[in-house]
A and B are shown apart, each in its own frame.
Chain A
Amino acid sequence: MTDFLPRLAALSLGGGGVILLLLAAGQLTRMKYAARWRCVGWLLLCLRLAVPVSLVSLLPAQGAQAAAPIRLELPSDRVVYTYQPPVRPSLPAQGGTTGGEQVAAPGDSAVPAAPVAQQPSAPAFTLSLSQLLFLLWLLGAAAVLVWAAVSHLRLLRYLRRWAGPVREPDTLRLFNQIGDQLHLYARPALRRCQGLQVPMLAGVLSPVLLLPEEGLDPQALRYSILHELTHFRRRDIWLKTLALWVRVIHWFNPLVWLMAGAIERDTELACDEASLAQLPRTEHAAYGRTILAAAQRVKNAPAAS
């Protein structure tokens, strides 16, 4: 445990530097290179950060220390809290006691009291700085995990109540047609959901493509299904899940949260690029207008309608 936190800190700090590097590189080269390359970069970085063990640290300890160009010294591990259970006094077993009470001889008030025996004290509970920090890290990681789980459970509960199957043949035909176009042998379930403004794909193990209750025009519906099925084909939710796991481990590192936002953005851009590759160039403007309309719909939607 005492080794874990320094290694995690080292990995997180090094990873933070690489995040900044990738963000800067992405910003400078986004007109040259497709967003999918950035997604590949984020995937590799997430895989690295998801395992909080330094590869160099697998070498002998001295070698690891010597290999790192930047060496930081953390505060020494010291005891920050000690709890000593109170000592329970007990009377001596022999001499001057009867039935547990001390008895003084008549007229013998000058006799000194028998010494009070001390029971062996229970071992003290101590908390070191490293243990405290480890507990804090565990709490933070658990909080992020619980937040993600609660969010998803809320969505699942909502869907159980408000989502229903799509029955329109045209929509089903379109869904299958686009699935065939994308060579998808396994496809997400298709459902329609009340309160949803724009189409979305949700779920890791049993993904479902959700369409809004209010009817989209056929072109917007086609582009939306194409976009979400492309997400499905690219397994973007798996990447987001991996990014979530990295946030669970490196929750204390704001750069990791920044990376999660960048992954969200770049997966959308990469998905758009892949979707547009399925469309003739003449339809690209219409696809863009659909995105704008959807954004408008989201913006106009009441916070609690």
Chain B
Amino acid sequence: MGKTFPTSPFSTRFSGREGETRLRIQNIAWGQHKRPAALVLVLALAAILSCGGLISCRVKTEQPVLSQLLTDEILTDDILNGDSILAGGDLDGDGREEALCTPALVYKLWPDGSLRQLNLRNTVLELLELDMDVPLELTYLPGQQKISAQWLGNRRTFPLKALLDNTRSGLILSTGEDNPDGVTRYFREGLDLTGDGTADDRILITSYGYETEDPSTHAEITLATGEVLTLRCYDRPSFSSAFPLRLSDDGRQALVLALSDSTSNYGCTQYRVLTVENGQLAELPLPAESSGADTVYGGHAAGDALRLPTLLDKWHGFQWHTLTWDEQLQTWAVQSDGFFTDYGQAALADGRTLTLELRGRWTADHALYYDRVQILDGAELLQTITPDFPADSPLCFDGVTRARATVPVEDYNPLGFSADAALHNLSSILDVNFDGNQDIGLPVDTTHDNYHLWYCWDPGAEQFVPAFALQGVPETDEARDLLIEHPFDSPDMAYTFNARGQLVWLGTLEEQPPTERSAS
């Protein structure tokens, strides 16, 4: 016939290949199989159903290079300030890339592909157990790969690696996936909320801005067990952070959420203290005096206590409250400092910079005053100035000058040095006597005369000594060695200093010749 019978996959043939025929004959020879295969079939079914989930294939995603992620949008001029990245590469030896962009800000690629911003300043504050309002300056020491921290005349250096190892919190800038507008994410890792000693718990706080459907703040706490606890922690968007607080000796930590209202111009912050009890979140409500509208950002843990700040006004430091949890009474014990602290710095001719700590208090009718000014050289207390009024003006050349440069007794603020920022500068630091050392002028008068008592630096005594008083904040005219006073109800007056360093009144400023002159 000259034709080949075609085959089709949609057919069965009575007899096939040799091997198959052998099997069929064997099968016939074995006879009927009586045993039901239900059990084997169930096992096979289980294997078949699981075959899709036995193996997962994931396309390897190229890890972005950190420099590609550090866009201009992230590295604003405020951060870079015109400088390039201070240090880059694997700075802490964990195999991941970091970039130190300012002495306080590090950008880091996370294993999940996200870009995160770590704040070393917060880590330093935590390590040094300093309050948030302490003036702290960080400097990067490139040769040593260290960060130098300076505060109130103190100095300490930290290896950059150690700081990075201790920094377990920050902002998630981009997740590597979608980054919706108006959503900010804060994370903190290394928590031990269950007391199992693992420090593997973590929190993610997500704030949804006003441009989103539900402007609010949500916390997601992931325990080491994989359990996830969620909480709508604030009904508004916020700048959020969190820190652990040790409340008991068993190692279990409470979690303090600091939720700063994103619309507040003074950092109004709501704090919430959460604990994990039997797999559930429980809250330890804070007392009213530390959870009002004047509570601001900067709270931190100090040992077993919680330090929370309240703000009197924008010109002054915080008033701090120390809260300790009473396990038996199940309440917070609150101890308020009752004062606030302002800081200033005075530079000396020998290169030292002295720190002024001005302790402020207030009255029931909100009159603010300083009752103590401490002069510190580093950690060493050099001098304590208290408002002992009336004060003398010993550094005046003659009686006329003394008459002008002495505060009328009736002008003195009976409370102490005035701290009323609406009336005058809180403290004026100026080299009024042209000796190369900055001097201190403290307001002692709440009348329109606005007298400041000037304390001039005495290098021999290593102290600021009371010198004279002038109205307002004077100006210096170094070209003519003139100290110019701005009285409230008379023309500007000119003073100079004689060879003995005494203040000499010269008359009105208008009467002074324009050329340089020396003291008589």
Interface positions of A (Cβ within 8 A of B): 2, 6-7, 9-11, 13-15, 17-18, 21-22, 25, 29-35, 37, 40-41, 44-45, 48-49, 53-57, 64-65, 67-78, 130, 148, 151-152, 154-155, 158, 162, 194-204, 224, 227-228, 231, 236-237, 240-241, 244, 264-265, 267-269, 271-273, 276-277, 284, 287-288, 291-292, 294-295, 297-299, 303-305
Known pairs A264-B16, A294-B14, A304-B2 / 10 extra A-B pairs, C-beta < 8 Å: A14-B50, A33-B36, A41-B48, A45-B44, A73-B58, A199-B14, A237-B11, A241-B10, A267-B12, A284-B28
Please, could you name 11 A-B residue pairs with CB atoms under 8 Å apart, sorted by A?
A: A9-B57, A17-B55, A18-B47, A48-B51, A54-B53, A70-B54, A71-B58, A73-B58, A74-B57, A265-B23, A294-B14
| Chain B 66-93 residues near chain A, CB threshold 8 A | none
Set of chain A residues within 8 Å of B21, measured between Cβ atoms = 291-292, 295
Q: Flag whether B460 is at the interface (Cβ < 8 A).
A: no
- Asked if B520 lies at the interface with its beta carbon under 8 angstroms from chain A, I say no
The CA of A64 and the CA of B56, in the complex, are separated in Å by: 8
Choose among A44, A57, A194, A244 the residue with the greatest number of B CB atoms under 10 Å from its CB.
A44
Complex Cα gap A31–B33 (Å): 7
Given contacts A33-B37, A240-B10, contact A10 B56 (CB under 8 A): yes
Task: Judge whether A151 and B55 touch: CB under 8 Å.
Answer: no
Q: How far is the CA of A231 from the CA of B49 in the complex (A)?
A: 27
Supposing A11-B52, A72-B58, A268-B24 touch, asked if A152 and B12 sit within 8 A by C-beta, the answer is no
Q: Which residues of B contact A268 (CB under 8 A)?
A: 12, 16, 20, 24
Known A152-B9, A195-B5, A200-B12; contact A37-B40, beta-carbon cutoff 8 A: yes
The one of A9, A73, A236, A288 in contact with B12, judged by C-beta atoms closer than 8 angstroms, is A236
Question: What chain A residues lie within 8 Å of B27 (beta carbons)?
Answer: 30, 35, 269, 272-273
Q: Chain B 209-225 against A: per-residue CB contact (8 Å), 1 yes, 0 no?
A: 00000000000000000
Please tell me which one of the listed residues B16, B52, B61 contacts residue A48 in the complex, with CB atoms under 8 A apart: B52
> Most B CB atoms within 10 A — which of A70, A228, A231, A295?
A295
| Given known A-B contacts A152-B9, A276-B28, A303-B4, A40 and B48 have beta carbons under 8 A apart | no
Number of A-B contacts (CB under 8 A): 240
Q: Across the interface, do B2 and A305 meet the contact criterion of CB distance under 8 Å?
A: yes
Q: Contacting B41 at CB < 8 Å: which of A2, A40, A155, A298? A: A40
In the complex, the chain B residue whose C-beta lies closest to that of A37 is B37
Task: Give chain B residues whose Cβ lies under 8 Å from the Cβ of A240.
Answer: 9-10, 12
Check A151/B8 contact, CB under 8 A, given A17-B51, A268-B20, A272-B27: yes
Query: Which B residues lie within 8 Å of A64 (CB)?
Result: 53, 56
Contact A202 B2, CB 8 Å, known A40-B41, A295-B21: no
Min distance, Cβ B21 to any Cβ of chain A, angstroms:
4
Cross-chain contact of A18 among B3, B29, B35, B48 (Cβ < 8 A): B48
When distances are taken between beta carbons in the complex, the residues of chain B under 8 Å from A203 are 10-11
Q: Determine the residue in chain B with the shortest Cβ distance to A67.
A: B53
- Cα–Cα, bound, A76→B62 (Å): 6
**A72 to B14, Cβ gap below 8 A?**
no
Q: Which residue among B25, B51, B58 has the maximum number of chain A CB atoms within 10 Å of its CB?
A: B51
Closest to A238 in B: B10
- On chain B, the residues within 8 Å of A158 by CB distance are 3, 5-6
Q: A32-B35, A265-B20, A291-B15 are in contact. Are A202 and B10 (CB under 8 A)?
A: yes
Chain B contacts with A in 138-197, Cβ cutoff 8 A: none
Interface size on B (CB < 8 Å)?
A: 52
Asked whether A2 and B12 contact (CB < 8 A) given A44-B48, A155-B6, the answer is no
Contact at A299–B18, with CB atoms within 8 Å? Answer: yes
Minimum CB distance partner of A269 in chain B: B27
Given known A268-B12, A291-B21, contact A76–B61 (CB-CB < 8 A): yes
Cα A158 to Cα B7 in complex, Å, equals 10
A68 touches B53 (CB 8 A): yes
Task: For A21, list chain B residues within 8 Å (CB).
Answer: 44, 47
- Contact residues in A for B461 (Cβ distance below 8 Å): none
For B9, what are the chain A residues with a Cβ–Cβ distance below 8 Å?
148, 151-152, 240-241, 244
In the complex the two chains form, what is the Cα distance from A294 to B48 in whole Å?
A: 36
Query: In the complex, are the beta carbons of A237 and B47 less than 8 A apart?
Result: no
Which residues of chain A have C-beta atoms less than 8 A from B1's C-beta? 194-195, 305
Chain B residues whose C-beta falls within 8 Å of the C-beta of A67 in the assembled complex: 53, 56
Query: Looking at B27, B30, B41, B55, which has the most chain A CB atoms within 10 Å of its CB?
Result: B55
Q: Determine the residue in chain B with the shortest Cβ distance to A3.
A: B59
**Other-chain residue from B28, B37, B49, B58 in contact with A55 (beta carbon distance below 8 A):** B49
Q: B63 — nearest CB in chain A belongs to which residue? A: A76
Q: A7 contacts which chain B residues (CB < 8 A)?
A: 57
Q: How far is the CA of A120 from the CA of B27 in the complex (A)?
A: 74
Q: Tell me which residues across on chain A come within 8 A of B5, comparing CB atoms.
A: 158, 195-197
> Is B13 in contact with A200, judged by CB distance below 8 angstroms?
yes
A15 touches B51 (CB 8 A): yes
Docked CA distance A257–B495 (Å)? 106
A263 → chain B closest CB, angstroms? 11
Cβ-defined contact, B12 with A304, below 8 A: no
B314 interfacial by beta-carbon distance below 8 Å: no
Residues on B with C-beta less than 8 A from A18 are: 47-48, 51
